[in-house]
Amino acid sequence: MITETGRRNTVKVLFVDDEFIEFRALKKKIADLSEPAVEVEYSPSIGDALDKIRLARFDLILLDNRLLPNADFRETVPELRGIGYTGPIGVVSTDISGGYFQEFPDYGVDFRIGKDEIDAQALQHIIREYVTYDVPDFWKDDYSI
């Protein structure tokens, strides 16, 4: 049984890719990640991802660059932002060298990463950089009433 505290300490990631094998590969790569606890959920399409986001809270979305029938992140990310998702979105692709990847901030993308670069250490870094920010303890007194 997961307590409410346990839920807050678990990072929920939505992995959106039209190839299930990519999800399985990701799960294997991050199996050794012990801190923080990561729960990864899979969506095979942007439509399915939109449905899941409407029903649950996700701390991070890893989104395949090309999802049919959409062309690339320039179409899918605005759909995610359009339903109110404000968390970090990372575009994942086999090849991130295309010139249009330089436009990713204009479309609401926080970062891009090659599929071959994702492993436990990379995901841990992404979580620390984009999902959690630890405020120093001495600052916390300034915000308590």
pTM above 0.85, yes or no: no
Domain 10-131 has CATH 3.40.50.800: no
* Strands 60-64 vs 10-16: parallel, antiparallel or unpaired: parallel
Which stretches of 2-102 are DSSP H helices?
4-9, 20-29, 46-55, 73-82
Q: Which residues, 6 or more positions from 7, have their beta carbon under 8 angstroms from its beta carbon?
A: none
Quick one: average pLDDT of 85-102?
Answer: 82
**Tens-digit pLDDT profile for residues 113-145:** 988 898 888 988 899 899 975 544 544 444 444
